[in-house]
């Protein structure tokens, strides 16, 4: 059942919630004041490593292509390194740079207003659908388009239709083609289906997606294969493998952070007069972490600390590990659930939810934590429409800036 009052769900008084908010604000202030050369060196080091991996992958494929014995092994090795480079650029660099995590450096190359990442969705649309919509309205049904991406039923409150039976297929397609699914994300497919989308804005966005997507496809499937000459098929296959790796990995990491057992959904009522402290509490209850070593966390954009990322989306990702120790201590202090677990377990739970919700509610049981008594909660109406831009509350500053620049609107 979706939650309409996070404080009541967590059994906290108003003063306890506000005190939690003050303690989280103190963590934010401490990190902001301590940002410095070590943090700047970290992101520059990651960017250098990613670019070296990109070059190395192309060199391996080019050198190995001239010998029949090394061509295929070289393509596999080169394509795999290229895939890892794309993952690193997508997760730890692009996603976090566009959140404004490194804007404090005042480096125009590593700034949220300038970065355009190596994926099909235009940065401007990503910053709107992700930084603004998702991070402000995290898991609020009817507001957060990330709950199912417009194609999957991910909450029992969402209306079931016979179309939902195809969820296993839709999920597999979304995973394998994730960059293209994300590219369409800001269009808001539900509003399009209900004919509520502004046609002029839809055309503008489609044009923008076409231009960005065409450049990506041209680069990966025409230009680089053409440079390989008669071995173009091998290069094309290696590039396709690299993109598939990046798509699958991004999909798994994102789903592990939002849909395991314990990551809650919320009704629109929760947004009414929501304080900063209540917003913090909703982020903790609506996200999930996963466990792993330093390399796993870097390759996942440090989104294994999804709770910390949702609390502080614009703080440097390399600080999330130290922040998590303090956040977890606060959760223990206030007896708030802190959802975490091994990556395979978290994804397995998300996948089980996808399969279960392909069927009507009456045919399956819920794996969500027990909610407060029914009289304290209101089920979200199954036919509630998504809110238009003008109907949504004012965004929070720390969720990340976005704008429709002249370049973005072209």
pLDDT means over runs of 10, the chain (410 residues): 81 94 97 97 97 96 87 93 97 96 96 93 92 91 85 90 95 94 86 85 94 95 92 93 97 95 90 91 96 96 97 97 97 95 96 95 74 41 46 56 43
Residue with tokens 């898991």: 139
**Cα gap 392→380, rounded to integer Å:** 17
Is-contact 179 120, C-beta < 8 A? yes
| Cβ atoms within 10 Å of 224's Cβ, excluding its own | 18
Burial tier of 300 (Cβ tally within 10 Å: 0-12, 13-18, 19+): buried
Question: Could you give the residue ranges of the DSSP H alpha helices within 128-194?
Answer: 135-136, 167-176, 178-183, 189-193
Q: What is the model's pLDDT at position 57? A: 95
Q: What is the model's pLDDT at position 148? A: 84
Q: What is the model's pLDDT at position 374? A: 39
pTM equals 0.88
Interaxial angle between packed helices 68-88 and 232-258, expressed in degrees from 0 to 180 and rounded to the nearest 10: 30
Token output for 117: 């990442």
Q: What is the model's pLDDT at position 185? A: 87
R_g over Cα of the chain: 22
Q: What is the model's pLDDT at position 8? A: 86
Where in the chain are the domains?
Answer: 6-399
Phi, psi of 305 (to 5 degrees): -105, 55
Residue with tokens 């293209």: 180
Interaxial angle between packed helices 343-356 and 167-176, expressed in degrees from 0 to 180 and rounded to the nearest 10: 140
């Amino acid at each position: 059942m979706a939650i309409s009052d996070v404080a009541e769900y967590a059994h906290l008084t108003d003063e306890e919630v506000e005190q939690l908010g003050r303690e989280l604000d103190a963590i934010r202030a401490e990190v902001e004041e301590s940002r410095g050369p070590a943090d700047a060196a970290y992101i520059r080091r990651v960017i250098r490593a990613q670019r070296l991996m990109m070059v190395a992958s192309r060199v391996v494929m080019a050198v190995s292509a001239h010998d029949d014995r090394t061509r295929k092994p070289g393509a596999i090795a080169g394509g795999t390194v290229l895939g890892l480079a794309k993952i690193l650029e997508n997760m730890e660099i692009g996603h976090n740079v566009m959140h404004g995590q490194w804007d404090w450096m005042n480096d125009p190359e590593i700034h949220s207003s300038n970065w355009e990442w190596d994926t099909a969705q235009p940065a401007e649309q990503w910053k709107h659908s992700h930084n603004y919509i998702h991070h402000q309205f995290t898991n609020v049904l009817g507001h957060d388009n990330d709950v199912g991406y417009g194609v999957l039923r991910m909450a029992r409150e969402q209306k079931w239709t016979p179309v939902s039976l195809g969820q296993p297929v839709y999920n597999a397609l979304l995973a394998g083609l994730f960059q293209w699914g994300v590219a369409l994300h800001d269009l808001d497919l539900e509003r399009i289906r209900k004919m509520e989308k502004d046609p002029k804005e839809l055309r503008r966005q489609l044009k923008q997606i076409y231009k960005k997507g065409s450049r990506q496809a041209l680069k990966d499937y025409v230009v680089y294969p053409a440079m390989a000459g008669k071995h173009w098929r091998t290069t094309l296959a290696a590039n396709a493998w690299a993109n598939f790796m990046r798509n699958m990995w991004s999909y798994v990491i994102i789903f592990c952070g939002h849909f395991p057992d314990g990551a809650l959904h919320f009704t629109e009522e929760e947004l009414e007069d929501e304080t900063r402290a209540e917003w913090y509490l909703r982020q903790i209850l609506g996200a999930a972490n996963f466990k792993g070593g330093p390399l796993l966390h870097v390759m996942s954009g440090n989104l294994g600390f999804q709770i910390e990322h949702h609390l502080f989306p614009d703080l440097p990702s390399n600080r999330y590990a130290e922040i998590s120790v303090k956040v977890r201590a606060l959760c223990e202090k206030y007896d708030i659930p802190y959802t975490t677990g091994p990556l395979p377990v978290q994804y397995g739970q998300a996948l089980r939810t996808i399969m279960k919700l392909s069927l009507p509610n009456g045919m399956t049981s819920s794996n969500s934590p027990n909610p407060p008594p029914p009289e304290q909660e209101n089920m979200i109406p199954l036919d509630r429409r998504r809110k238009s831009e003008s109907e949504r509350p004012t965004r929070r500053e720390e969720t990340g800036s976005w704008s429709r620049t002249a370049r973005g609107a072209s």
